[in-house]
Amino acid sequence: MFKKNTCFQTLVSLFFFNTFLITQSHAQQVFSNNTYPLTDFRQPLDITPPALAGSFGELRANHFHSGADFRTNQRTGYPVYATADGYISRLRVQNSGFGLALYINHPNGFTSVYGHLSRFNPKIAQVAKDLQYKNKSYEIDEFPASDLIPIHKGDIIAYSGNTGSSGGPHLHFELRNTRTEETINPQLLGISIPDHIPPVIYAMYVYRLNGQSFNEFTPKQYFQVAGGNGKYNLNKVTTINLNGEVGFGITTTDRHDGQSGLNGVYSIELFVDGKAVYTSALERFSFENSRAINSHIDYPALMTQKRSIQKSFVDPGNPLKIYSNLANSGRVTFNDDKLHQVRYLITDSRGNQSTLNFNVQASSGASINAPAQASGINFPYQNSNEYQNSEIKVIVPKGTLYNDLNFVYKRGAKPQGNAYSAVHHIQNNLTPLHVGFELWIKADSSLAKHQQKAVIVNTSRVSQGGIFEDGYIKAKPKNFGSFFIAIDTISPTIVPVNIANGKNMRGLAKISFRISDNLSGIKNFNGYIDGKWVLMEFDTKTANLWHSFDERTSPGKHTFELLVSDMKDNVKRYAIEFYR
Ligand SMILES: [Zn+2]
């Protein structure tokens, strides 16, 4: 009995030992070139085990997620600790974005970033408030000198929150290269998150490229994937017949221990007959390249089907530096009538791996001709391109396009109500752009006295901004689409939440409002008590605007005035008296 048991245990441990060795060697291979310091940084929260609602490099709308989103049990107010020694190098308050944020420069050449904070520690909060009063602005972006706010590893620098463009309480945490400002996967710097689960693969796609630019017309085949626990194959298909030049794409996510949320994977590698043709790895990236996620993925599929397919071929204008081992940009030609083995290897940030294996039979009967595309004007991706007619000018600067474009323009009728031009259909919303393009729309004679109130809007009537210049309204939309001129002559709305004329505010900590604008958007707000500027805090996502009483407001009678302006300088004024 004893012997048998030992034997069984030996077998079991041998089995696990082997598995362990294999997993370890893969992980070591993937991260063996990791030269980042692994013990310099501590976790920014004391919540154990640390858990992420969002991982580094995760696919988000128009950007790769630039850090790790730590879960905070759906609550705000957890102490946030300095991850290492250093000094506060940037102190930022924004209506949106990271909301309240701190940056610490560390002597080892890295900068840690903490976002969506509810409040700073008392010392930093005082520095921030002094700056806000000095600048007469809620929003501040200050770069304190290295001796102003020194920090020790483990100091409480702030409390976790939900400020700025945050979808719920959490801590957004980043580690950046101080010099280049590239953001780096914190798991490569020893900020470890428990994860023993290999990535999940959902589907594989074949794009029939045939030497052409990728766009919404590229013929695409969908293959469902079967399997699990790190081993996947195509559902009911072992061999795909293909001919000519193709690209591949994959949908995949990662999950962490004990978490139901879906996170991003670390790397995607594609091999044909054992030879690497494509690797993407989210080790680090620069913010100016992050929008190229729209080139990394099949953007038309995201826009039309809400699917995030990661392409395994790289567009010529894609500036991301996350790619390596590229053979012909990841485009593969099958023209030898032979059988080929294709293999995807997906790795998460802890080295857990999944594979997808399938065969391709190169077969001359399997060709698909590229469909006819709309005839337009050729916009080469590496050039600056322009289009103009008697009513509009379109300037697409160099560095905007990821692929050559067949540019198409159509004129539509003038819309009903608040429209001062025809609708101009500029290409469509399926072509990703890296930066905004210049759009000039000639002002209608009916606009005459409203030139300074005009903005360009899309057909959902979302303002793209606009200034009057040379008889045109000019804006810089971030996407192609359909646009016309509208005007904003209406002042913002101010809704008092807890205050009214003559009210006794004793015992209340703050004065609250909700503010909004009909079209061009809120430009600024200024509050005054007894004629003196006071700090009004604003949260874009809830439209809440408030002033927290402090020693500036003594007991007794006071006046309060609030001025809110929109982007077209329409101003709303609210003024009352109150007691405290
Ligand atoms: Zn985040």
- For ligand 1, the distance from its centroid to the CA atom of residue 366, given in whole angstroms, is 45
- For ligand 1, the distance from its centroid to the CA atom of residue 69, given in whole angstroms, is 5
Report the candidate in 539, 505, 567 with the shortest Cα–Cα distance to residue 116: 539
Q: Is the pLDDT of residue 185 over 50?
A: yes
Gap between the Cα atoms of 298 and 488, Å rounded: 36
* 160: Cβ contacts below 8 Å, ≥ 6 apart: 45, 70, 72, 76, 77, 78, 79, 80, 116, 117, 118, 169, 170, 171
- For ligand 1, the distance from its centroid to the CA atom of residue 209, given in whole angstroms, is 35
- For ligand 1, the distance from its centroid to the CA atom of residue 199, given in whole angstroms, is 21
How many percent of the chain have pLDDT more than 70?
Answer: 94
- For ligand 1, the distance from its centroid to the CA atom of residue 65, given in whole angstroms, is 6
Report the candidate in 200, 204, 122 with the shortest Cα–Cα distance to residue 159: 122
Confidence of residue 463 (pLDDT cuts 50, 70, 90): very high
How many percent of the chain have pLDDT more than 90?
Answer: 90
- For ligand 1, the distance from its centroid to the CA atom of residue 506, given in whole angstroms, is 38
- Count of alpha carbons within 13 angstroms of residue 127, beta-carbon side: 19
What is the reported pLDDT for 373? 72
Which is more confident, 126 or 25?
A: 126
Report the candidate in 285, 221, 276, 284 with the shortest Cα–Cα distance to residue 247: 221
What is the reported pLDDT for 2? 37
Gap between the Cα atoms of 71 and 68, Å rounded: 9
- For ligand 1, the distance from its centroid to the CA atom of residue 152, given in whole angstroms, is 24
> Is residue 126 classed exposed, middle or buried when 0-12, 13-18 and 19+ CB atoms within 10 A define those classes?
exposed
Q: Is the pLDDT of residue 28 over 60?
A: no
- For ligand 1, the distance from its centroid to the CA atom of residue 167, given in whole angstroms, is 9
What average pLDDT does the segment 491-496 reach?
A: 98
User: Which residues have a beta carbon within 5 Å of ligand 1, which is an ion?
Assistant: 69, 172
- For ligand 1, the distance from its centroid to the CA atom of residue 100, given in whole angstroms, is 13
Beta-strand pair 244-253/454-458? unpaired
Report the candidate in 172, 170, 179, 167 with the shortest Cα–Cα distance to residue 67: 172
Q: Which two tokens stand for residue 233?
A: 């194959």
What is the reported pLDDT for 283? 96
Say which residue the tokens 């930066």 belong to.
435
Report the candidate in 436, 385, 428 with the shortest Cα–Cα distance to residue 215: 428
Q: pTM (2 decimals)?
A: 0.92
- For ligand 1, the distance from its centroid to the CA atom of residue 526, given in whole angstroms, is 30
Give the residue ranges of DSSP H helices in 99-179.
122-135
What average pLDDT does the segment 534-558 reach?
A: 96
What average pLDDT does the segment 454-467 reach?
A: 96
What is the reported pLDDT for 15? 40
- For ligand 1, the distance from its centroid to the CA atom of residue 547, given in whole angstroms, is 27
Q: Which two tokens stand for residue 413?
A: 């009728």
- For ligand 1, the distance from its centroid to the CA atom of residue 565, given in whole angstroms, is 30
Q: Which two tokens stand for residue 310?
A: 């990661």
Gap between the Cα atoms of 421 and 393, Å rounded: 14
- For ligand 1, the distance from its centroid to the CA atom of residue 95, given in whole angstroms, is 16
- For ligand 1, the distance from its centroid to the CA atom of residue 478, given in whole angstroms, is 22
What average pLDDT does the segment 143-164 reach?
A: 98
- For ligand 1, the distance from its centroid to the CA atom of residue 537, given in whole angstroms, is 22
How many Å separate Cα 197 from the centre of its chain?
25
Gap between the Cα atoms of 375 and 214, Å rounded: 16
- For ligand 1, the distance from its centroid to the CA atom of residue 80, given in whole angstroms, is 15
- For ligand 1, the distance from its centroid to the CA atom of residue 203, given in whole angstroms, is 27
Gap between the Cα atoms of 19 and 230, Å rounded: 13
- For ligand 1, the distance from its centroid to the CA atom of residue 169, given in whole angstroms, is 11
- For ligand 1, the distance from its centroid to the CA atom of residue 493, given in whole angstroms, is 31
Q: Is the pLDDT of residue 10 over 60?
A: no
- For ligand 1, the distance from its centroid to the CA atom of residue 64, given in whole angstroms, is 10
Phi, psi at residue 502, to the nearest 5°? 80, 5
How many Å separate Cα 81 from the centre of its chain?
25
Q: Is the pLDDT of residue 22 over 50?
A: no
Beta-strand pair 481-487/424-426? antiparallel
- For ligand 1, the distance from its centroid to the CA atom of residue 351, given in whole angstroms, is 22
- 70-99 pLDDT, tens per residue? 999 999 999 999 999 999 999 999 999 999
Contact 250, 204 (CB under 8 A): yes
- For ligand 1, the distance from its centroid to the CA atom of residue 497, given in whole angstroms, is 30
Confidence of residue 21 (pLDDT cuts 50, 70, 90): very low
- For ligand 1, the distance from its centroid to the CA atom of residue 421, given in whole angstroms, is 40
Reduced to 3 states (helix: H, G, I; strand: E, B; else coil), residue 296 is: helix
> Is residue 110 classed exposed, middle or buried when 0-12, 13-18 and 19+ CB atoms within 10 A define those classes?
buried
- Count of alpha carbons within 13 angstroms of residue 9, beta-carbon side: 6
Q: Which residues pair with 439 in a beta bridge?
A: 394, 475
Contact 356, 344 (CB under 8 A): yes
Report the candidate in 238, 235, 231, 234 with the shortest Cα–Cα distance to residue 200: 231
Q: Tell whether the torsion through CA atoms of 475, 480, 486 and 492 is positive or negative.
A: negative
Number of H helices, E strands in the chain: 4, 47
- For ligand 1, the distance from its centroid to the CA atom of residue 150, given in whole angstroms, is 25
Confidence of residue 372 (pLDDT cuts 50, 70, 90): confident
- For ligand 1, the distance from its centroid to the CA atom of residue 12, given in whole angstroms, is 41
- For ligand 1, the distance from its centroid to the CA atom of residue 576, given in whole angstroms, is 40
- 345-369 pLDDT, tens per residue? 999 999 999 999 999 999 988 877 7
- For ligand 1, the distance from its centroid to the CA atom of residue 162, given in whole angstroms, is 11
- For ligand 1, the distance from its centroid to the CA atom of residue 42, given in whole angstroms, is 18
DSSP 463: B
- 294-345 pLDDT, tens per residue? 999 999 999 999 999 999 999 999 999 999 999 999 999 999 999 999 999 9
Q: Which two tokens stand for residue 171?
A: 């801590």
- For ligand 1, the distance from its centroid to the CA atom of residue 264, given in whole angstroms, is 13
* 407: Cβ contacts below 8 Å, ≥ 6 apart: 376, 377, 378, 379, 385, 387, 394, 396, 427
Locate the DSSP E strands across 146-211.
150-151, 156-159, 170-177, 183-184, 200-208
Confidence of residue 13 (pLDDT cuts 50, 70, 90): very low
- For ligand 1, the distance from its centroid to the CA atom of residue 243, given in whole angstroms, is 43
Average pLDDT in the chain: 93
- For ligand 1, the distance from its centroid to the CA atom of residue 519, given in whole angstroms, is 28
Q: Is the pLDDT of residue 223 over 60?
A: yes
What is the reported pLDDT for 30? 59
Contact 57, 64 (CB under 8 A): yes
DSSP 99: S
- For ligand 1, the distance from its centroid to the CA atom of residue 310, given in whole angstroms, is 21
Gap between the Cα atoms of 408 and 411, Å rounded: 10
What is the reported pLDDT for 411? 97
Q: What is the CA radius of gyration of the chain?
A: 28
- For ligand 1, the distance from its centroid to the CA atom of residue 115, given in whole angstroms, is 8
- For ligand 1, the distance from its centroid to the CA atom of residue 514, given in whole angstroms, is 26
Gap between the Cα atoms of 56 and 64, Å rounded: 8
Locate the DSSP E strands across 84-191.
86-93, 100-105, 110-117, 119-120, 140-142, 150-151, 156-159, 170-177, 183-184
- For ligand 1, the distance from its centroid to the CA atom of residue 259, given in whole angstroms, is 17
Q: Is the pLDDT of residue 135 over 80?
A: yes
- For ligand 1, the distance from its centroid to the CA atom of residue 52, given in whole angstroms, is 10
- For ligand 1, the distance from its centroid to the CA atom of residue 196, given in whole angstroms, is 23
CA distance to 92, 105, 107, 110, 183, per residue, from 179 (Å)? 19, 10, 12, 8, 11
Q: Which residues pair with 228 in a beta bridge?
A: 231
- For ligand 1, the distance from its centroid to the CA atom of residue 302, given in whole angstroms, is 21
Gap between the Cα atoms of 142 and 408, Å rounded: 45
> Is residue 173 classed exposed, middle or buried when 0-12, 13-18 and 19+ CB atoms within 10 A define those classes?
buried
Peptide bond into 194 cis (omega under 30): no
- For ligand 1, the distance from its centroid to the CA atom of residue 267, given in whole angstroms, is 20
